[in-house]
Structure 1
Amino acid sequence: MNYGLPYMGSKNKIAEWVVGHFPEKKHFYDLFAGGCAVTHCAMLKSKFKTFTINDISKMTEFFTDAISGKYADERRWISREDFSRLKDNDEYVRICWSFGNKGENYLYSKEIEPWKKALHHACVYGDFSLMEEFGIRTDGTKIDIKKNAAEYKEKYIRWYLKNVLKTSAEYERLRSNLEAKIKDNSEKLRAYLLEGLRKAGKTAAEVNRFLGTNGMAGHYFGRSQWEFPTREVYIKLQSLLYLPENYDEIYGLQSLYESLQSLQRLERLQSLESLQRLERLQSLQSLESLQSLQKFRGDYRNVKIQPDSLIYCDIPYKNTAEYSDGGFDHESFYDWAEKQREPVIISEYAMPEERFERIDFIKKRSLLFSGSNLFHEEGLFVPKTQIEKGIFTVKKKEWKQLELL
């Protein structure tokens, strides 16, 4: 079961675990609602009579729009250009078509985009013409795509190399020992630049001053985030360093390097994430008549809390870069939480032990990095003042600890 909106930092995978710790009350407040996964789950569990969601972003409106059926007929394909043009005014585009649901960068890499567009046209519009351009005949079903994945991948890569990269390099030659070739070619180009630096008797710092940049020389001469200069920069560097080859000649090697990189990314063709996100969004329509829901957008301290309520706070986690809004005053929040007369449950990695009691935790894999094996202990905390005053009673039950993959 998926809960809430696709969103960076979503509690979708642990929503049931979180809601399982909530005492039954009449009113529920989700004051840092984000993608509203916890509210969605709580609504389906029928633990509360009314629900209030609040966030400083537009996500609460996005959630209620989804419930009201605004996206029932959403079928658009959003290109990279569409995303740049629409993201500031269209929350659906900003969230569902951005990488990691962060609302910043486009969902697909430039190498994958033509494939995803063809797949979208086939699955959503029933139009197979773009697939046929790749030499692929498919019915567009997941079963067929999965069954013939290797064949379709190869045909698409051949099409991409010929029509987009416009390289004469053969697929088989590029695919052979791919990782080794990428490393070898990048090292040759980097060595050429380093030799030019050495023979000219210059330093990376002098290159930065010459170009008027702060640290770009590190990309040209170092291994971390290495890149080859653009034509304009290369020609400029020829007046400072010993770089005898003209750009077009040396770029032949660079072009092969870029082709290899593109091919490597193409080897990891994925499913149609945009369609999966849309289906998840459309599924929220079933909530429309379930419960009373009120939304706010603003400071959590401005939401008036009624008696007989449960307050849930999924605050921006301290000392992490997981949220981009920044500027959250944790100390002020701690003070606010301790003063509440209704029980408060807070999601965080860690909180001041002298002020808050961790009632449970779950091991959760970090989603910020693809393939990451980094786990966090995501905890649920309550103010110790509330335990002392009897506002919140800690359950004696031992909750099962899970390792969430």
Structure 2
Amino acid sequence: MPDRTHEPSLKSWLETANEEGCEFPIQNLPYGSFSTIGSGRRLGVAIGDQVLDLRAAVETGIIDLGQYSETLRSPTLNALMAAGRGAWAKLRFSLSDLLSSETPSLRDDQTLRAELLVPISETSMHMPFDVSEYTDFYASRHHAFNVGSMFRGPENALPPNWLHIPIGYNGRASSVVVSGTPVRRPKGQVKGPNEDVPRLAPSARFDIELELGAVVGVPSDHPLTVAEAFENIFGYVLLNDWSARDIQAWEYQPLGPFQSKATATSISPWVVTAHALEPFRVSTPDREVPLLPNLQDVGPMLYDIALQVSLVPANSLETVISRTNYREMYYSAAQQLAHHSSCGCPMRVGDLLGSGTISGPERENRGSLLELSWGGKDPVEVDGGTRSFIEDGDTLILRGHAAGDGFRIGFGECSGQVLPATDIRATDR
């Protein structure tokens, strides 16, 4: 069937979905897991300022996915993702038709609308999928060059392998939390340049990383081509990989980040599907060094997604501290997934791949405070003062959208407030 789901002329009977600047127009239709007072978790799709209850839609019969209908009774997206691309497309087409201004079945049934629609403002959002594994990458050239320049000088900024492979490390799936979850400042071993031995202390250089997370929907047990990897990605979320820079500086040699990245990784509650982002595909940059055949591009596999970071000090106003775009990445999520599988690593439904910090060429495009303040030497102006790194009580908010012709594909917010560190009890002797 022809795919009309991206057409700018497509309108919903729900007027808030047609308003200028709406994050969730009918062209988007992102999925999440929500609850309301007195009800359990269930899947929903965001439309305008409402959530369409997918479980109720199946039970009333207004959505019929045949053999895949049962996947919508689950509280998370894993069963739907495991059903494969055919089920994903069938659901998107069904929802687009149901919510279109041309379709009367739900539009003209006020009783059914009251049963199926819930204002977003009255929901509590939960993790949209069960994270099987979590891998974070280091795939923005601007970010890698900035960080490398700080520590090794611009002439040695990029490691020798950086232009050949997307560098990554395996993180903790258990530490991934949904937007709005408070984040406790970590304690760990730190060692200053003038100290002889390390000490246990709260991180004084706690930071954020502005990223996009790719959600694997199709499992694999063999090395993937880049084209296969692209097709296996269900959708994308905003991702903040909270980072304790001082803990990282002490522990990362020789094996890389460990405790410095294990505090929390926040994701936005809405998964924007790869299908919804299809019109916004753009190419990766020209290569200085040709990639090996298994990592070469086979088409535009990045997306034109405008991103920003805001910082809100306790009892103060919000300040936008960074603006950048996902199109600045050097490696796409498809290349990251293909590389991840290249040694035979099985990939599972619900695997999460963090893009790595997304930075652009200018100071205001940097996706971390480490870069924005240049290691603390050039603090960032915020309401009521400055910041080199995150202070207790600060709330960090990530936002992003792709701009269409008269509509936008929004991700909602990915936010978290930093709470003070707690004591770590010494081992009894």
User: TM range, normalised to the smaller chain?
Assistant: under 0.3
TM-score w.r.t. structure 2 length? 0.21
Q: Give the number of the structure whose alpha-carbon radius of gyration is greater.
A: 1
The structure with the greater share of residues assigned to helix is 1
